[in-house]
Amino acid sequence: MRPAGPRVDPAQVEFSAVRAQGAGGQNVNKVSNAAVLRFDIAASSLPEAVKARLRTLPDRRIGADGVVLIKAQTHRSLPRNQADALARLQALVDLAAAPEAPRIPTKPTAASKRRRLDDKARRGQIKAARQRVGD
């Protein structure tokens, strides 16, 4: 489990209600229950390091302009969809808040060195067999 990162301030999040997609009977055609969350990374109060890592995440919800767009439509009520979208944004920020562990370089094992040299010798024998036979 990841340690909790900086909290997203709900005041910096902009919500809009839209109609949900998909099946749902008559209710889906007349009630706007889906929530669209907009979060501007640059204007947020997140630490600069988290902002930078958040912008570089390979996530299609993060636009080129640095705005995160999340659409939540799994629940039947707008407040639950807003809470779901906020939770997904917080999960994204938590992912960006955890710095990547530095890679510790390792040395090749003796067995891998031996396999490499055996393969080189075998390949050399194959190539030597292609040469013309001398007089």
To the question of domain 10-97 being in CATH 3.30.160.20, the answer is yes
Domains of the chain: which residue ranges? 10-97
Mean pLDDT of the chain: 89
Please compute the mean of the pLDDT values over residues 107-132 and round it to a whole number: 95
The answer to whether 46 and 5 have CB atoms below 8 angstroms apart is: no
Task: Give the model's pLDDT for residue 2.
Answer: 53
pLDDT in tens, 18-40: 988 877 667 667 788 899 999 99
* 12 phi-psi bin (left φ>0, alpha ψ -120 to 50, beta other): alpha
pLDDT in tens, 29-78: 778 889 999 999 999 999 999 999 999 999 999 999 999 999 999 898 89
- b/e 16-37 (16+ beta carbons within 10 angstroms → b): eeeebeeeeeeebeeeebbbbb
